[in-house]
């Protein structure tokens, strides 16, 4: 029995050189450029808004293309997820016995406190 194999199913969709989820980043960049273009064009009542839109769209496209050339899909996910944890949070692995020992020491210190109403 023969089965048809569609090789294109494993490939990410491509549009204007942007592959897969990078298209979403480019669409977000174009949307931001559009909002800026409308805002500046409405405020200046001129052709400056169109220029801002075109320059912003080109900048977003080139930035996403550079990002795509630098990272694969897997590397991009690791890069973005590594930026979500702030640097002030430090995770220090400890064993269960050391945690239990610390809790025991804290409990011993609390029980040894002298009472304030001593005679």
Burial of 64 (0-12, 13-18, 19+ CB in 10 A): buried
DSSP string, 37-88: HHHHHHHHTSTHHHHHHHHHHHHHHHHHHHHHHH--HHHHHHHHHHTSS-TT
Quickly state the pLDDT bin for 96 (edges 50, 70, 90).
Answer: low
Cα–Cα dist 28/57, whole Å: 10
For 3-37, write each residue's pLDDT tens digit. Answer: 777 666 666 666 777 777 778 888 889 899 999 88
For 50-91, write each residue's pLDDT tens digit. Answer: 888 899 999 988 988 888 888 777 787 787 777 666 656 556
Length of the chain counted residue by residue = 119
Residue reference for tokens 């909002």: 35
Task: For residue 79, give the nearest of 25, 8, 17 by alpha carbon.
Answer: 25
Hey, where are the domains in the chain? 9-111
For 99-113, write each residue's pLDDT tens digit. Answer: 677 777 888 887 776
pTM (two decimals)? 0.53
Task: For residue 62, give the nearest of 29, 38, 13 by alpha carbon.
Answer: 29
């Amino acid at each position: 029995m023969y089965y048809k194999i569609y090789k294109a199913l494993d490939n990410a969709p491509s549009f204007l050189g942007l592959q897969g989820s990078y298209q979403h980043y480019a669409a977000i960049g174009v949307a931001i450029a559009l909002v800026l273009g409308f805002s500046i064009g409405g405020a200046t009542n001129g052709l400056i808004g169109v220029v801002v839109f075109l320059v912003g769209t080109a900048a977003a496209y080139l930035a996403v293309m550079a990002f795509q050339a630098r990272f694969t899909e897997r590397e991009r996910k690791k890069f973005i997820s590594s930026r979500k944890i702030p640097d002030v949070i430090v995770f220090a692995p400890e064993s269960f016995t050391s945690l239990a020992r610390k809790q025991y020491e804290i409990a011993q210190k609390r029980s040894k406190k002298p009472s304030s109403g001593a005679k």
